[in-house]
Structure 1
Amino acid sequence: KADCIVRSCTKMEDCLIENQTTFYSKAEHYWKEVPPTVDGMLGGYGSISSIDINGSKNFLHKFLGEGQGKTGTGCALDCGAGIGRITKRLLMPLFRTVDLVDVTQEFLDKARTYLGEEAKRVENYFCCGLQDFQPQPECYDVIWIQWVIGHLTDDHLVEFLRRCRSGLRPDGLIVVKDNVAYEGVVPDDVDSSMCRDLNVLHRLVARAGLNIICEEQQQNFPEEIYVRETGQ
């Protein structure tokens, strides 16, 4: 997303003029009009895909394996998976199986071919908005949530993170990688989403009963892209 100067708020719902139903339906409509390609998934910035994946891989490798503070490599969940860009290039090489969840059925249908032969290691394709999605209990070593939390209201994000916590195996991790605003909450009327600053995100994570054990900034993105943070 391009950086721009717009009004900011301290709470997501304060920015919403329309009701939650409209907020979610507008986002669903936006994504239905997006082509099921890597460029489409990245809002026209397909060229940053390799930089993004390499940064995520370096981050995730620190926490995989055996021993204290490590998690297993059995099954991962890709939230807001789209056509499976992250599943194919990040999660599939590291985990035995992966589940995908996305609100747009066309993207999930495309993922079955985009993933190629590796699609056989996908156990489930869930077509569902994250505000309604219930991860299977104690199923996942890693739940990866990238560039999608802006489509959830504050309360729904907290509730979703709580459900994700129950979906983790022992020593499992939730990883959130997303845009962060410089201050407050910045609305995006184009795709019906919000970009929160780190203080707001930290408060929501705490409300969900989660602890942040590591936080890093993605490097080498174009200057017009929002600062990204990777955190667990």
Structure 2
Amino acid sequence: MIPDPKRHRPNTRSNGPATGSALGSALKKKAPPGPVYEKGIEYWDKVDASVNGVLGGYGEGPVPHIEQLSSRLLLLSFIPSLSPFPNPLTPVPPSAPAHRRTVLDVGAGIGRVTRHVLLPLFDDVVLLEPVDKFVREGYRAASSGEWRDLPSLTAEGDDDAMKEQKRRLDEQQKWITEGNGKGKRVRFIKRGLQGLDPRFPVDEQGEEIGLVSSPSGLGEKEGCMADEIVYDVIWCQWCLGHMSHPDLVTFLKTARKALREGENGDNYIFVKENCCDDAPGGVGQEFLDEEDSSLTRSHQKWVDCFHEAGLEVIREAVQQGMPDELFVVKT
């Protein structure tokens, strides 16, 4: 599959100094066109529901592993109590809170980030994705026992596969009995971000796909199954480009209200996206990719959005180990 061009730099060359800006005619207009939600869905409907598909052809090399590890380390650096065991980054992890730690994964695709980054650290994940085949593939894989943190004896397979499922269930139950966790759950919801209130993700625009849970988590009403959900973390990765500036600011304001109050302030919104260059003078800018109807924003443009939404930028990190031909990825 040809790598997705929307993440490629339009203003750099592999050899020699960077060329001048070539961001496209949209920037020359007084009112640049914004993304069209329906066009974005139409584009992703044509993409394979696989890691390689959602990563634009970069899913079969080192990129997924490097990117996932960096995200987990970043989360642990902000919230050390997420660590399930002592490690060099957190030799003595603080005690976990009594509540079910809950995270929202928006524009989650087939659940790659939920599966490899969020679920190992949190108790509950609300997985939100507007593309039907993506969210249903994620639900299928999780409910069939393919996700390590959600083993299931109802999964099909040969004797060795079923023995492995039982071993993982026993391991998880021992972990819970020893007070090291509460069991894992993922709630799959088909929905876009426009007009979303994260506290009530299933509305007239949202469709409940299903809940996948470890046995110990089935009966608990709090966390992802609460009537009004509050989150310890809201994770946004490679999806906010499909929102116009006003829609993005509105979403960020609403997302801020959905964060859990108190708890030592360990509640954050993480945004991980590609960034193009700022305009001369450090002015924020954005350009529209007509193919998938998404905006690529510059660093300052993102900062402008955050400030307009009343958010404070605590830290920024550049994702290392990405191919040179891609836009820089920042969290």
> Please, what TM-score do these two structures have when normalized by structure 1?
0.88
Q: Is 2:54 the partner of 1:54? A: no
Alpha-carbon shift at residue 134 of structure 1 (Å): 1.3
Match of 1:2 among 4, 8, 11: 8
Alpha-carbon shift at residue 40 of structure 1 (Å): 0.8
Match of 1:140 among 212, 231, 239: 231
Match of 2:108 in 1: 81
Does the residue aligned with 1:39 lie in a helix, a strand or coil? helix
> In the alignment, is the contact (CA less than 8 A) between 2:139 and 2:188 conserved in 1?
no
> In the alignment, is the contact (CA less than 8 A) between 1:78 and 1:143 conserved in 2?
yes
Distance 2:274 2:120 in 1: 25
Match of 1:90 in 2: 117
Q: Deviations over 1:191-232 (max 9, x none)?
A: 1101111111111101101101111100111101110111xx
1:164 maps to a residue whose letter is A
Distance 1:218 1:167 in 2: 27
Match of 1:36 among 49, 72, 76: 49
| Count of matched residue pairs | 223
What percentage of residue pairs aligned between the two structures are identical?
Answer: 33
Bigger drift between 71-80 and 34-43 goes to 71-80
Does the residue aligned with 1:168 lie in a helix, a strand or coil? coil
* Aligned residue runs from structure 1 range 181-220, under 5 A: 181-183=276-278, 184-220=285-321
Q: Deviations over 1:164-202 (max 9, x none)?
A: 111111231100000001122122111110111111111
Alpha-carbon shift at residue 15 of structure 1 (Å): 2.2
**CA RMSD of the aligned region, Å?**
2.4
* Greater C-alpha radius of gyration: 2
Q: Deviations over 1:110-133 (max 9, x none)?
A: 001333534583442221111122
2:307 maps to a residue whose letter is A
Evaluate the alpha carbon distance shift between residue 144 and residue 193 of structure 1 in structure 2; reply closer, same or farther with a 3 A threshold.
same
Distance 2:198 2:317 in 1: 26
Q: Structure 1 or 2: larger strand share?
A: 1
Q: Deviations over 1:78-120 (max 9, x none)?
A: 1110000000000010001111001112111100133353458
Q: Is 2:274 the partner of 1:179? A: yes
Alpha-carbon shift at residue 12 of structure 1 (Å): 11
Structure 1: any 5+ residue segments left out of the alignment? none
Q: Is 2:142 the partner of 1:109? A: no
1:158 maps to a residue whose letter is V
Distance 1:98 1:211 in 2: 24
Alpha-carbon shift at residue 75 of structure 1 (Å): 0.8
Alpha-carbon shift at residue 11 of structure 1 (Å): 11
> In the alignment, is the contact (CA less than 8 A) between 2:276 and 2:328 conserved in 1?
yes
Does the residue aligned with 1:78 lie in a helix, a strand or coil? strand
Distance 1:128 1:13 in 2: 32
Alpha-carbon shift at residue 30 of structure 1 (Å): 0.5
Distance 1:43 1:215 in 2: 24
Greater relative contact order (Cα 8 A, min sep 6): structure 1 or 2?
1
Distance 1:130 1:182 in 2: 26
Evaluate the alpha carbon distance shift between residue 2 and residue 149 of structure 1 in structure 2; reply closer, same or farther with a 3 A threshold.
same
Match of 2:162 in 1: none
Does the residue aligned with 2:276 lie in a helix, a strand or coil? coil
1:142 maps to a residue whose letter is V
1:162 maps to a residue whose letter is K
Evaluate the alpha carbon distance shift between residue 111 and residue 212 of structure 1 in structure 2; reply closer, same or farther with a 3 A threshold.
same
Does the residue aligned with 1:101 lie in a helix, a strand or coil? strand
Q: Deviations over 1:147-177 (max 9, x none)?
A: 1111000000000001111111123110000
1:113 maps to a residue whose letter is R
Does the residue aligned with 1:135 lie in a helix, a strand or coil? coil
Bigger drift between 189-198 and 113-122 goes to 113-122
Match of 1:130 in 2: 193
2:190 maps to a residue whose letter is C
Runs of 4+ that moved beyond 3 A: 8-13, 116-123
Distance 2:277 2:269 in 1: 23
Distance 2:259 2:28 in 1: 28
Distance 2:320 2:28 in 1: 28
1:159 maps to a residue whose letter is T
Structure 2: any 5+ residue segments left out of the alignment? 1-6, 12-21, 82-95, 152-183, 200-227, 279-284
